[in-house]
Amino acid sequence: MYIAIEGIDTAGKSTQIARLAKVFSDAVITKEPGGTSIGSKIREIVLHGEVQSPKAEFLLFLADRAEHMEQVIKPNSERLIISDRSVVSGVAYAMVQENISQTAILHLNRFATDSIYPQQLFILRLSEEELSYRLSQKKLDGIEARGTDYLLKIQDALIEAASLLKIETHIIDASESIETITETIITTIKEEA
């Protein structure tokens, strides 16, 4: 089973992935972007704000996604795969940029993934207040520096993207305790396995 944990920056994806990796020790743990050697380079370029063109950023993410499919997702299709982000993020971020049509976004992502999407999606959702607080507690990367309004638009777009891609989605309140969130995800995975 291929599952993905989604959410805006500071929602707690990395914390949950680390906890899930301990519970599902045989799972393939990966991330988008950055789940391959090429993806790691693309991730660095984007997070450090080196790309000026939104179209170029979108195409870099597509390149990472295509490589990730070939190197990680397809070869491990018989195993439990837990991914930090997925095609859903790619679609959501592109929709918020508003310079590429929704039709083109969906078609290009289908092309990059060969229409292989997560079977289960968990979106960690933050309130505006909680997001503002969490951002105030850390040094911001290139995406986080775009601000609260931008990140909240992304959060809404994640939910919309999951619906457009017809992925079974579970929305979780990211202000719940870490343990409660982990238990919710584990229970759902075990029910679906």
Per-residue pLDDT of the chain (193 residues), as tens digits, is 999 999 998 899 999 999 999 999 999 999 998 899 999 999 888 877 788 888 888 999 999 999 999 999 999 999 999 999 999 999 999 999 888 999 999 999 999 999 999 999 999 999 999 988 887 887 776 676 677 888 999 999 999 999 999 999 999 999 999 999 999 999 999 888 6
Q: Are strands 28-31 and 169-173 parallel, antiparallel or unpaired?
A: unpaired
CB 180 within 8 A of CB 172: no
Q: Looking at the DSSP assignment, which residues form a beta bridge with residue 5?
A: 84, 122
Looking at CATH, the fold of the domain delimited by 2-192 is given as Rossmann fold (3.40.50)
**Residues 186 and 192 sit within 8 Å (Cβ to Cβ):** no
Give domain limits for the chain: 2-192
The enclosing H or E element of 3 equals strand 2-7
CB 98 within 8 A of CB 17: no
**Peptide bond before residue 33 is cis, with ω within 30 degrees of 0:** yes
